[in-house]
Structures are given as structure tokens and as C-alpha cells.
Structure 1
Amino acid sequence: MPKMSSITRVLEIIEAVSYSQTPMSPLELSQALNIPKPTVHRLIQNLVEEGFVKVDIGGGIIPGRRVRNLSVELWQQRQFFNERQVVLQKLVDDIKESCGIAIPYQMSMTYTNRIQTELPLQIYLPIGTKSPMWCTSSGKLYLSQLPAARRRKTLNNLGLNKFTKNTIIDIDELNAELDHIAKTKIGVDNEEFISEMISVSVPIVDKKSRYLASLYVHAPTIRVSLEDMLAFVPRLQEAAADIQDLIYEMQN
């Protein structure tokens, strides 16, 4: 077997850490990638210093700032952004309400794509807007997909401010809500982020059914009920599947 270059080893470590659902230990990386333990420790130290990975509170290796920034920049490349916008436009043409895509980034959900409804009463949340995780349909959907220990740690770090009378800030109550969302794969915001606004979200996933982003629709309660909003879910899921196909094409 030919000797693996240091660059290849570095890239494989970054790839393994990025794909892993849980933090990986140096020993796990050594065994998974067949790299000697001293070499893994040396490369990890270099990657930490350069900001590509970081060590979490439990000693596991997780993606660092530069990997997260790169993933967002790749997601927003003009060609792929425009293709997602086409899918969203068809979705909005069908259901007549504003739709968009949100991704988790730095303890918030960031809106990366959006098509606004043409109806007169609108909620303005433009591309680039950051919203809280614990009281939005997109954020709750993301949190519901996290392993239990990582979810608990994330919730403890979020602060859980109350935005409306419906915002859930009790961790036990919120966890019960997230457990339900994990089963249904439907995120729901029942006037929890903005009063008189409701939203539902469905996941966009990769080939291994791992969460990538949330596809959401939101609308004012004066026009749409939560029951009406949930009736949009099958059409949202169709659009999510179309976006997933675009992602698979990008990866090939």
C-alpha cells in the first residue's frame, strides 16, 4: 500500500470529524483512519491551532470555525443557491406563503434561502437573518436531531430567553417537545418566536439521512391556522426531496 501523504491524512481527519454525529476521540480517529496515534495527535494539534477543528469539553474532536465557515460558503455558492431558489419559488407558487431554508450556525439558525409570498400581509425575515434555535420551527427541528448528550449541552448553552407568551423555556418541557419532533420529523413554531406568526419545518438530509438544513414555511395567524400550516407538510417534503437531489448532484 502506498504511503499516505500528510495532506491526505489531514483532509481525512477533517472529513471524519465533519461527518461524525458525535465528537471523535484521537484514538477513534487513529483506528478509523489507520493513522498511528502519535501522528493523529500531532495533526490534531496543528488543526486546532489553525482553527479547522477544536476540542470539546469532553475531549472529543469537533469541527472548528474554519470548517463551519467553509461549509456555509460552499452552501451559498451562486449556482447552488440559485437552484434552491427555483425549488422554493415553485413551492411558494403552490402554497402561497413565504418559504425558506435555515441552517444551524454558531448557536443560531441562519436563513440562507427565502422566497417571499406575494400576499399583502408579510413577515420580513430576509436572507442572512439569525433566529433562535429553541423557539423556531427550523431550530427545534435541528435540536430534535441531536444525540441526547449533545442536545442537553446545547440547550444549557442557549440561554432560552422568552420571546412571546408561548415560548417554551423549561428544559424538561422543551425536551419533551423535541422528542415529539424527532419522531414526526416536523418542526412547529406556534407563535413562540414572534407573536401572531406560526411556522412548520421539514428536514433536508444527506444520503445517510443525516440532518443538513430545515425547509420552513411561515405565515401570520390572521391568514393561516396551525392546522392549515400542517397541511402544507407533504408539499414541503416534496420540495425538500428536490433540494436533496440537488445536493446529491453537487457531491458527485
Structure 2
Amino acid sequence: MDFPNKTILITGASRGIGKATAMAFAEKGAKVGLNYRSNDEAAEITFKELPGEGHQLFKRDISQKSETEALINDFVKEFGRLDVLVNNAGISIFHEIDSVDFEHWTHAWEKTFETNLFAAANLCYWAAQAMMKTGGGHIVNVSSRGAFRGEPTKPAYGASKAALNAMSQSLAKKLAPHNIYVGVVAPGFTETEMAAKTLTPEERENLLRESPFKRMAQPEEVAHAILFLASDEAAYSSGTIIDVNGASYLRS
């Protein structure tokens, strides 16, 4: 899977899975656009670490509807075309129904869906408009095992990812005649810098027990699945959801 001179836009690209994906595409010869919301320092570090040349940073808050169109326009203006969109940005907010007030409950649903679903849907729309003008492309949406197993402490997160899966498969059907291929990667818990900082030893131990491999996914393993779905060789896998969860959750 090589991507010589392909243009790739990745949201939430400054750290974790987004950073690993950006590095993997750049190593394969792609020109990468890194979208991030606010962490200038992390974005600059990732940008400087990317191999190759011609990459670009795009600071946009994609939870704002107008920013999604602006991001795609900025990207196309910079690179001339958009070959691959990776919707990786996402948030999760704890909001257990038996312990939070209604204001917290509704806030969690609104903010989670703004980023995890509405932003991804809007970016898919503008990306598809750009791709239809240039003969096609690939969209890869990053979901979660939480879409299937349920998230009792973060139900909005699980629901947003389930909706993202359904949207992706609908778009895979609708966009196929335009040579636009849509796929989904659904990771389990992934070993990121944020996880290392926020998990307690007990939480970490519980997560390690979930997989028979007794470890969490590495960001590079998730990135590998994203690259596969973004490749020309995976065109007939459009509509696929790839689980990357170390057999911690198996679905039929």
C-alpha cells in the first residue's frame, strides 16, 4: 500500500491515532493535511516529525458547521485535490444516567454528537463534493467497539459511533457510482498519550484483562487498518467495518 503524491486530510491529527495515521501515510509518500482544534504545540511537534515534504497544518474547530466547509476549501486550495479523508476526531464525556443532573446529561449528548457525528457528516458532505469533481476518493471514518458493546458510562459516545457506522454504510452505497469508497475502522481502547495520563492503575489493569492478548491496541495498529481502507486495493471493501480491538469484543 503506497500513496505517492496522494493528498490526505486527517482530523484530530495532532496526537494518538491521528498522529500515527499521519506518520504512516507520510512514510508511504502521501502529502498530509493535519487538522486540529487547539493544541498548537502537539500539532507542531507532529508536523515536524512527518517524513517527506509538502505537508500542512489546518487549525479548525470542526464541531462548528461553517468550519467544515472552510477546512475542505482550505485543503483543496493548498493541495489541488482531496484523495482521502480520515474522520478521526472524537470526544467522550462521562454522563452516567443515574448520577448526573439533566443539564450535564443534555450537554454531554449535544457536545458528543457535534464532534463525533455531525462534524464527520458535514466533512463527508464537503469532501464528497470535492472528490466528485476529481474522479473519486476514499473516506475512512474512525468509530469504536463502543458502537456495538454499549457504553453505560458514556452512552452518547456509543450512540454517536453507532450512528457513524450507519451513516458510513449509507454513504458507501450512495457514493459508489462516483468512485468514492467509504469504510470504517472500529478500535478498542488504544494506548495513547492521553490514556497513559488519565487512566488509574486499576482502570488500566481492567482494560488489559479485556483482551486475550492482555494489552491494548497500539495507535500504529489502528493506522494500518485505516491505510488499508484508504488504498486502491481496498475499493471493493467499501462499506466494511474493521474491528481493531484484540478480540476484546466479538460481534456476529
Shared topology, TM-score over 0.5?
A: no
TM-score after normalising by structure 2: 0.29
Larger radius of gyration: 1
TM-score after normalising by structure 1: 0.29
Greater per-residue strand proportion: 1
